[in-house]
Chain A
Amino acid sequence: MAFVLRRLLHGGFVLLVMSLLVFVAVYAIGNPVDLLVDPNADAADKARTMAALGLDQPLFTQYLHFLKGALTGDLGHSFIHGTPAVTLILERMPATLELAVTALLLALVVGLPLGLWAGARKGWPAKVVEGIALLGFSLPTFWVGLALILVFAVVLGWLPPGGRGPTIEILGIDLSCLSLEGWRYLLLPAATLALFKTSLLIRLTQQGTVRALAGDAVRFARSRGLSEARIVAVHVGKPLLTSLVTVVGMEFGSVIAFAVVTETIFGWPGMGKLLIESINTLDRPVIVAYLLVTTTLFVILNLLADLACAALDPRLRLGAEETGHG
């Protein structure tokens, strides 16, 4: 419990530092009013606009004002949309999460078996799978996305080139994955986003498998005459699982981060696309809100991953070493 609390406190500190950094950074880039106010506006118009948005105050005052609001859950209104920034983010969050989860599942479904297979068999299968993984690592996401659009949407015409298509509402959340038509829109961006993670999983699983197979546990198991399937499942699979849960938990954050590029390429109406547009227009409340929301998500997921690892492997007593009661 103390561990969980400490982690949450730590997370809160990260949020604070993050919000301060973003504030200063966006302030340093420029003034959104310079971009938005009509060229014909006179000084009074501009001053009034600055005052209405609170931009006439010193940066420190602006930040304190923001903190005060943030404590009550109010991250301010978007300059451009006039809507609460949190609303904008939450409105788009399901799209991003759906994309990220689909991509991660795709990576698991493809990456795990391939990695296991390549790790268990030496020789050419390992080489081929390694080659595929290397390709997945080295190809830039935006290029892969564009290539997929070109092939499957433009040349073959099988899938739509972008957008989200129809969604079905479940518990107030719009989802694409509940209809075939929705999947047609989801598939390409999810595959693009999954590519890097798939490669990572292949490599991790493969190396883990090779290491486990060479280990004492497997040798003893073999000598005990256990079946190969059981060996792979228990003595290779289990140790792999804990490290995979950590990686997947951490990688989920980076999937969301990479989604920024993928969403932009596919016009997927998620948080990432919103972030890019907000950076272009210096819409600070939205930029800050996005980062705070994703950081929170990241902190929580990491925590969950740690808890899951502890559940999977009793040797990992959470916080034991840290508190010195090990």
Chain B
Amino acid sequence: MPMKTPRILFALLLGLALHLPVQAADLSIGLAADVSSLDPHYLNVAPNIAIASHFFDTLVTVDADSKLAPGLAESWKAINATTWEFKLRRGIKFSDGSELTTEDVVFSLNRPATLTNSPGPFTPFTKIISGKQAVDAHTLRLTTSQPYGPLPLDLSSIFIVSKKAAENASSEDFNSGKALVGSGPYTLLRFKRGESIEMARNALWWGYRDGRATQWDKVTFRLLPADGPRLAALLAGQVDAIEGAPAADLPRLKADARFHLEQRISWRTLFLQLDQYRDKSPFITDANGKALEKNPLKDARVRLALSKAIHRQALTERTLEGLGVPAANVVSPGILGHVAARKVEAYDPDGARQLLQEAGYADGFSLTLHGPNNRYINDDQILQTVAQFWSRIGVKTKVETMPLSVYFGRLRKADFSIGLLGWGSLAGDFALKNLVATPNAAEGWGAWNWGQYSNPKVDQLLHESLASVDDGKRRKLAEQTATAALGDTALIPLHHQIATWAMKKGLRATPRLDEFTFAWQFRPE
């Protein structure tokens, strides 16, 4: 029978195709920090957010270049100065098969305020929202208590959970997986606290992130906070990729053909904050160690002199071995409020000495520079380098560093005269509100402005910028604010940090500006 052969052949081929082992694509990544909870509203820290992004969606997402992109909301607009309307995507399913509606969104926006035992709550992103109205199952109106431009950005930090699953759940129920019902690209397989998190592709996931669907069927994140073990895991092939590749080992990794590096300027900008309110600053004396009548840092000429004395090119090329680029701004290039026209302060020791002389410090003075020693790339060495530059213009500088857990608390108590700080922000006006706005505890302004820089013009511009719901207008105002504050040397920008991911050969990744590590960033070469 002539018919039979092709049919058999076809069946054979089909059988072959069915039985061909479909190469399951697995990926394992070494993370540089511990993940403390899988409850996406429990603790507002980067490692927890990175993992939650795999299980849950947000209304608005932030792409690799930190531009806002549609998430669960396919569009949004400001109806008036205090009302925003979000249109939800239709047909989005949670991993348990139930449909995601505005009810779940409202529940998720309310939930952070109910988690009273959180040591780092998400409420800073939600408290501005005074009204939540579900117009229909797919339209949501949010009212803010005052005009507030960054609302869509804030909403990129609030994960949408299933009301049904989370309503009566404790944070522990998320860790066990019981309440962990999201609409994101992955579902939880296993959370081994302090060791690893295993996840599998969510077959019901609706879409893509950063323009692509995820390729990996199973992803394992291993928690390797210490540099040595993380690197060893990569070298031994236990993980396919790591974030935060240790700076000291980069030359070696670069030279090794078995590995590939991805680098980009991250959102983290490092700068020096200066005490600008006390007449007698605790760590400043005259050149002979005697107390000074006045605090020299209150004089804008002195601040500018200190900035001019720093050779940022040398700092980034030598001290940082290329893991930084000189900065003239407090936010990285491409972020709202970054003033591209601002030039990096040129290295000018003569000009600096001249300025000191004009300000009445021809003989210089002495100070101690403080910073952390386990937070930023080569943080200790950065301070040593700056101290040498300053000593060259007659400002005798000593350096004292300490672990972050000690440093942050002391810094915020204004225990120092000059301190090193790194800041990652997706909006310049936001960063400046924390760093240079006149401190006002009730409103949360100037929360990190321990040096109490205060400039009414900067405050005014900041208010206007943050209240602009029109993106173009806000951008302009944010840049004006930055120009005003930095023109006054409210703080001394040093450099933008460069983040590094290392992976085995054959893998490629799209590095993110915000330093997050997500599975969908990675793809086979």
Contact = CB atoms under 8 A, between A and B. Distances in A.
- Do A and B bind? yes
Interface of A: 29-45, 48-49, 52-53, 77-83, 88, 91-92, 146, 149-150, 153-154, 157, 160-164, 264-267, 269, 273-274, 277, 279-282
Interface stretch (B62-70, B436-444, B500-508): B436-444
8 contacts: A35-B404, A38-B120, A41-B121, A41-B123, A83-B172, A146-B232, A162-B229, A281-B405
A280 B405 contact: yes
Nearest to B123: A45
Nearest to B192: A269
B344 interface: no
A267 B447 contact: no
Q: Which of B228, B233, B404 has the most CB of A within 10 A?
A: B228
A53 B406 CA distance: 19
Nearest to A282: B405
B194 A265 contact: no
B226 interface: yes
B434 interface: yes
B193 A91 contact: yes
Interface in B179-200: 192-196
A156 to B, nearest CB: 10
Contacts of A163: 195-196, 222, 233, 238
Nearest to B113: A48
Contacts of B122: 38
Contacts of A161: 229, 232-233, 235-236, 238
A148 to B, nearest CB: 10
B226 A45 contact: no
Contacts of A282: 405
Nearest to A45: B123
A82 B412 contact: no
Interface stretch (B42-50, B81-89, B204-212, B305-313): B42-50
Interface stretch (B31-39, B133-141, B511-519): B31-39
A74 to B, nearest CB: 14
A298 to B, nearest CB: 23
A34 B412 contact: yes
Interface in B102-129: 116-125, 127
Contact of A265 (B228, B238, B442): B228
Nearest to B33: A277
B505 to A, nearest CB: 16
A274 B444 CA distance: 33
Contact of A48 (B116, B222, B441): B116
Nearest to B116: A52
B171 A82 contact: yes
Contact of B117 (A30, A33, A41, A53): A53
Contact of A39 (B34, B42, B119, B434): B434
Nearest to B34: A277
B409 A92 contact: no
Contacts of B408: 30, 34-35
B232 A42 contact: no
Interface in B457-510: none
Contacts of B37: 80-82
Contact of B124 (A38, A153, A160, A279): A38
B224 interface: yes
Nearest to B154: A40
Nearest to A84: B172
A300 B44 CA distance: 40
B289 interface: no
Nearest to A53: B119
Contacts of A77: 117
B324 to A, nearest CB: 21
Nearest to A167: B192
Given A162-B229, A164-B195, A267-B229, A38 B44 contact: yes
B237 interface: yes
A36 B442 CA distance: 19
A39 B445 CA distance: 10
Contacts of A41: 121, 123-124, 444, 447
B236 A160 contact: yes
A155 B415 CA distance: 48
Contacts of A273: 194
B121 A37 contact: yes
A162 B119 contact: no
Given A35-B404, A36-B44, A149-B228, 5 more contacts: A39-B423, A80-B36, A146-B228, A161-B235, A163-B222
Nearest to B120: A36
A29 B226 contact: no
A157 to B, nearest CB: 7
B229 A45 contact: no
A29 B406 contact: yes
Contacts of B235: 153-154, 161
Nearest to A157: B236
B334 interface: no
A141 to B, nearest CB: 13
A267 B222 contact: yes
B448 interface: yes
A39 B431 CA distance: 9
B430 interface: yes
Nearest to A270: B194
Given A30-B406, A81-B36, A277-B34, A52 B118 contact: yes
Contacts of B44: 36-38
A281 B45 CA distance: 12
5 nearest interchain CB pairs? A42-B444, A30-B409, A36-B120, A43-B441, A161-B232
B333 interface: no
Contacts of B192: 269
A34 B409 contact: yes
A40 B447 contact: yes
Contacts of B430: 40
Contact of B121 (A31, A38, A264): A38
A91 B180 CA distance: 21
